């Protein structure tokens, strides 16, 4: 049987290294890159032509998809992360599998429009509003997987173990939907899940606030046996560190280390308030850290030590987290720009390093090591950024990558291909009216 090859001709493409390459032909077969050819002056007959700069697919390393309903509703007034959390709980209480599917479908559609080809969904709304399992205990997770399929994005469902309302505290009413009751019950539910080609499994501990050291160790051991990615919120807030030291005499990172959680498949999310020893432990274990700059600044969390982490050997990724903004380019450049604010120096992370963070390292942290590069054998994910918008007009084409990483936004992305399937064309999602569906879905879960 003859296999059909689809050819893309890219005006410019980033194939790794410091600069973009002009006039690149990418051959795609069975969802994979079958060939990459440079110096192709004229588009081949029948090729799909991409004007602008074509990047590998972007990875959204950390998402709470239902938080999209809070955008524009929680930004005014005073308060902190802890007051914002109460508004989040109100939305969580309104969700059911149908409303979650509708909201996730539209939000994942927004992510694809922004160039994300894979999302790590940190999923903890497991039970019904009364705190009881659905007839299908994984109904909420299945809604997310189906929504991702509809939107044309791959998903790693990072199923969260969430057992306590804080260190030494019972669950609050708004948290009861999140808990399986024990690690054993969490394992039974997660082990019963069915998977498809676009979806993979991952494990997560919500935080040291939601699981004891013994429970973390149990989750870490199980995820190691299953060879799954393991993620956890780490040191997002100073109060978390203070409570952890008071209870255990150690930082959250030290608790995770002693529980056997730190490894090359582990990703610490946020990691904003770390000691030097924390940074060393994360680096020695070859972990990843997922920074979420647009959320961390929206919630007044602080700025993570990106430069120190990278110097220690930690792989950095980025995520949209609370969906205050869905723009991978903004998340990536914020890693460098925030570092400038802290250090007073420019150039810790150049454009190529930030693209690796956003693409290859992000996919690896989610369990998709065969994505994030435009190279033979890799998944055929292509994201094209227009170079003629008002934001990029007049840019030096010799510095195309710099111009895009530091100047473009999600609005400049015109075309997105995921696993060889064209999902976005001309800036429009081929299967979802994203804006209209977002408005309708958010209206269902907000007062």
Place of tokens 């770390």: 274
Helix H or strand E encompassing 327: none
Angle at 316 between CA 315 and CA 318, to 5 degrees: 150
Look at residue 103 and give its three-state secondary structure: helix
Is the separation of the CB atoms in 403 and 328 below 8 Å?
no
E runs forming strands in 271-326: 288-291, 315-318
Selecting among 126, 270, 363, 429, the annotated active-site residue is: 270
Selecting among 27, 150, 243, 321, the annotated active-site residue is: 321
Is there a catalytic annotation at residue 273?
Answer: no
Is there a catalytic annotation at residue 231?
Answer: no
CA–CA separation, 31 vs 6, rounded Å? Answer: 10
Please give the backbone phi and psi of residue 106, each rounded to the nearest 5 degrees, phi first: -70, -40
**Given CA atoms 32, 35, 36, 41 in this order, what sign does their dihedral have?**
negative
- Residue in 59, 46, 47 with CA at minimum distance from that of residue 10: 47
- Region of residue 434 (left: phi > 0; alpha: psi -120 to 50; beta: else): alpha
CA–CA separation, 99 vs 332, rounded Å? Answer: 31
- Residue in 262, 62, 29 with CA at minimum distance from that of residue 155: 62
- Residue in 410, 324, 423, 371 with CA at minimum distance from that of residue 156: 371
Query: Which residues are the active-site residues?
Result: 270, 321
């Amino acid at each position: 049987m003859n296999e059909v090859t689809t050819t893309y001709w890219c005006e410019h493409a980033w194939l790794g290294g410091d600069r973009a390459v002009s006039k690149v032909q990418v051959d795609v077969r069975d969802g994979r890159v079958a060939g990459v050819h440079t110096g192709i002056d004229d588009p081949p007959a029948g090729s799909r032509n991409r004007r602008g700069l074509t990047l590998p697919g972007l990875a959204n390393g950390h998402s709470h998809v239902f938080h999209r309903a809070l955008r524009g509703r929680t930004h005014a007034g005073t308060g902190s992360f802890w007051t914002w959390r109460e508004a989040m709980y109100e939305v969580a209480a309104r969700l059911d599998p149908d409303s979650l599917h509708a909201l996730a479908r539209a939000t994942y559609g927004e992510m694809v429009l922004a160039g994300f080809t894979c999302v790590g969904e940190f999923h903890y709304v497991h039970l019904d509003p009364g705190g009881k399992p659905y007839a299908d205990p994984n109904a909420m997770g299945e809604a997310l997987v189906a929504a991702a399929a509809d939107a044309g994005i791959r998903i790693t469902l990072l199923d969260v173990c969430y057992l306590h309302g804080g260190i030494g505290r019972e669950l609050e009413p708004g948290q009861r939907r999140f808990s399986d009751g024990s690690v054993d019950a969490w394992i039974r539910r997660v082990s019963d899940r069915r998977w498809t080609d676009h979806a993979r499994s991952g494990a997560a501990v919500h935080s040291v606030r939601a699981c004891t050291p013994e429970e973390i160790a149990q989750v870490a051991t199980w995820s190691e046996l299953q060879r799954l990615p393991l993620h956890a919120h780490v040191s997002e807030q100073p109060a978390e560190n203070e409570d952890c030291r008071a209870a255990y005499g150690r930082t959250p990172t030290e608790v995770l280390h002693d529980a056997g959680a730190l490894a090359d498949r582990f990703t610490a999310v946020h990691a904003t308030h770390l000691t030097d020893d924390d940074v060393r432990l994360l680096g020695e274990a070859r972990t990843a850290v997922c920074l979420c700059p647009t959320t961390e600044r929206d919630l007044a969390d602080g700025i993570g030590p990106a430069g120190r982490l990278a110097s220690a050997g930690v792989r950095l990724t980025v995520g949209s987290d609370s969906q205050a903004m869905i723009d991978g380019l903004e998340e990536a450049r914020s890693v460098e720009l925030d570092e400038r604010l802290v250090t007073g120096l420019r150039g810790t992370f150049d454009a190529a390093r930030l693209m690796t963070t956003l693409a290859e390292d992000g996919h690896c942290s989610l369990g998709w090591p065969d994505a994030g590069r435009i190279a033979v054998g890799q998944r055929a994910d292509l994201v094209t950024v227009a170079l003629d918008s008002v934001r990029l007009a007049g840019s030096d084409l010799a510095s195309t990558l710099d111009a895009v990483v530091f100047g473009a936004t999600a609005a400049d992305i015109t075309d997105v291909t995921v696993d060889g399937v064209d999902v976005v064309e001309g800036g429009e999602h081929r299967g979802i009216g994203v804006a209209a569906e977002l408005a309708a879905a958010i209206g269902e879960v907000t007062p």
